[in-house]
Chain A
Amino acid sequence: MTVKELLGTLDLEPLTEDTNLEGQIEAGYVSDLLSDVIANAPENSVWITVQRHINILGVAKLKNIAAIVTPRSLAVELAVIEKAKAEGIALLRSDRSAFEVAGRLYGVLMKEAR
């Protein structure tokens, strides 16, 4: 599915507006440890993390992560949003917890895989 389709399905707020809305999503990953993401996140995934500093963009780029989801309506600095736009990575935000976002995402992706 595309990032755009995910936005509607999971009720996410696109902080980076129309950045990478056509990006393909095939999997998801949840982790706040960058080395764990670097080692284990699948390509073309959505990454759910509470980390919001600029280094998450480097990790996302390296792993071809299409979108990063910030849970619990946490604040994201404008500089990070602007950098994400420049790098072509979608920053999305949810008012739900990481657990809830991951649960919904898993359901949607599994349904699509069937």
Chain B
Amino acid sequence: MIEPCVSSAEPRFQLDYPINESDFLAAGESASKTKKALQQLGLKPEVVKNSAIIVYEAAMNIVIHATSGRLKVIIVRDEVVIRAEDTGPGIPDIELAMQEGYSTAPHEIREMGFGAGMGLANMKHCSDELIVESEPGVGTILEARIHLGQKESPREIR
């Protein structure tokens, strides 16, 4: 499993959301809160936008597929790190799951406009680095990293 990204450096900023099965609203709100918090830190609009998209897609994946999970948004050094960990069925074939259009979402989820097989592809597109590790029957860990860019650094560092 992926080593926690905070092991080598203290995070400058951290958000932590529990995400539970079928709790769509909490998942949506985690993305809105992330967007707001990163905007307040004065990050580049592109970084804020990409981070919010990744949080939204990662949260929705937990809501749709897992039984429970956690989502963390951390700024360490010059990166935003989004880490999603869940307990659930896992992903047997990650390469296949990364393909746009591939989905295992049930019918009723697709009817709501989710589960089109675009989530992981969107996350990859929005991140500078995306790592997915999974153990079938146990759960999945996803970590996305977004470089802050040269000029932008958080205004208030606590």
Contact = CB atoms under 8 A, between A and B. Distances in A.
B31 A58 contact: yes
Interface string A36-75: 1011000000000101011111110110000000000000
A51 B32 contact: no
B118 interface: yes
B24 to A, nearest CB: 5
9 contacts: A33-B116, A34-B114, A38-B122, A51-B113, A54-B25, A55-B28, A58-B28, A62-B28, A62-B32
B interface bracket (residues with beta carbon within 8 Å of A): 20 to 34
Given A39-B118, A62-B35, A51 B29 contact: no
B125 interface: yes
A100 B116 CA distance: 25
A32 B32 contact: no
Interface residues of A, number: 18
Contact of A35 (B27, B31, B52, B116): B116
Contacts of B113: 32-34, 49, 51, 55-56
Interface in B111-126: 112-114, 116, 118-119, 122, 125
A61 B33 CA distance: 10
Contacts of B119: 35
B102 to A, nearest CB: 13
B57 interface: yes
Q: Is the interface of A mostly helix, strand, loop or mixed?
A: helix
Contacts of A32: 113
Interface string A14-44: 0000000000000000001111101100000
Contacts of A58: 24-25, 27-29, 31-32, 56
Contacts of B60: 34
Interface string B67-94: 0000000000000000000000000000
B57 A61 contact: no
A38 B119 CA distance: 10
A33 B118 contact: yes
Contacts of A57: 28
B72 to A, nearest CB: 19
Nearest to B52: A62
Interface string B15-34: 00000000011011101100
